[in-house]
Amino acid sequence: MALPETLVAEFDRMVQKYPERRSALIPAIHRCQEELGGWVSPETMEDLAAYFGLEPVDVYGVVTFYPMFRTKPPGKHVVSVCHNISCDLRGAEGILAKVCEVTGAKVGGTSADGKFTVERVECQGACANAPMFDLDGVYHEDLDDAKVAKILGGLQ
Ligand code: FES
């Protein structure tokens, strides 16, 4: 198994919290994505299947069902733009268009230079300060075009 020992130890603790071992699969996938480059590779899916006593296709089915899991390596920076109701009403589509313009990435894709991945996400719980995006795990709220350009334009 190629999973890091630290993750396996974490999973060993995690599975104790659930009546069935496989119930910890989704949090385990999250941890793999966080720790192993921001995506879930085919090898990681096989390792997770072995750990949980599942078939690799079972893990693949979960990974590909949920949009928060990536099956390709992301760019250096990940911009996750919320498009749910509060953000939509306050201009999320325009923000998304501006993000794509500034980064050179298409929605669901990565810029040619590998610097940015842009994705649509569901409500992030920051509706009071819509529209918003999550950039590499940090929320940016009350966005307008100028803020988007300032935030993303200065990134290396
Ligand atoms: S709708 Fe965008 S944060 Fe809730």
Ligand 1 centroid – CA 141 distance (Å): 10
Assign 78 to helix, strand or coil. strand
CA-wise closest residue to 156 among 127, 129, 122, 116: 116
Please tell me the pTM assigned to this model.
0.84
| Cβ of 86 below 6 Å from ligand 1 | yes
| Displacement of CA 63 from its chain's centroid (Å) | 11
Ligand 1 centroid–CA 84 distance in Å is: 5
105 lines ligand 1 (CB under 6 A): no
Domains with residue ranges and CATH for the chain: 5-65 (1.10.10.1590), 77-153 (3.40.30.10)
- Say how many residues make up the chain: 156
C-alpha 122 – ligand 1 centre gap (Å): 7
Point out the ligand 1 atom lying closest to the alpha carbon of residue 131. 2
**Cα–Cα distance for residue pair 154/156, rounded to 1 Å:** 7
CA distance 61 to 29: 12
- pLDDT for the residue 99: 98
CA of 10 to the centre of ligand 1 (A): 31
> Is the CB of 82 inside a 6 Å radius of any atom of ligand 1?
yes
126 in Cβ contact with 82 (< 8 Å): yes
Q: What is the mean pLDDT of each run of 10 residues along the chain (156 residues)?
A: 92 96 97 96 98 97 95 96 98 98 96 96 97 97 98 89
Q: Give the other-Cβ count within 10 Å of 44's Cβ.
A: 22
Task: Check residue 135 and give its pLDDT.
Answer: 97
Which pLDDT score is estimated for 156?
A: 76
Looking at residue 1, its pLDDT comes to 59
Residue 75 three-state SS = coil
pLDDT confidence of residue 9: 98
How far CA 130 is from CA of 12, 90, 102, in Å, comes to 39, 6, 20
Dihedral angle, C-alpha 67, 73, 75, 77, nearest 10 °: 60
What's the rounded Cα separation, in Å, for the pair 118 and 107? 5
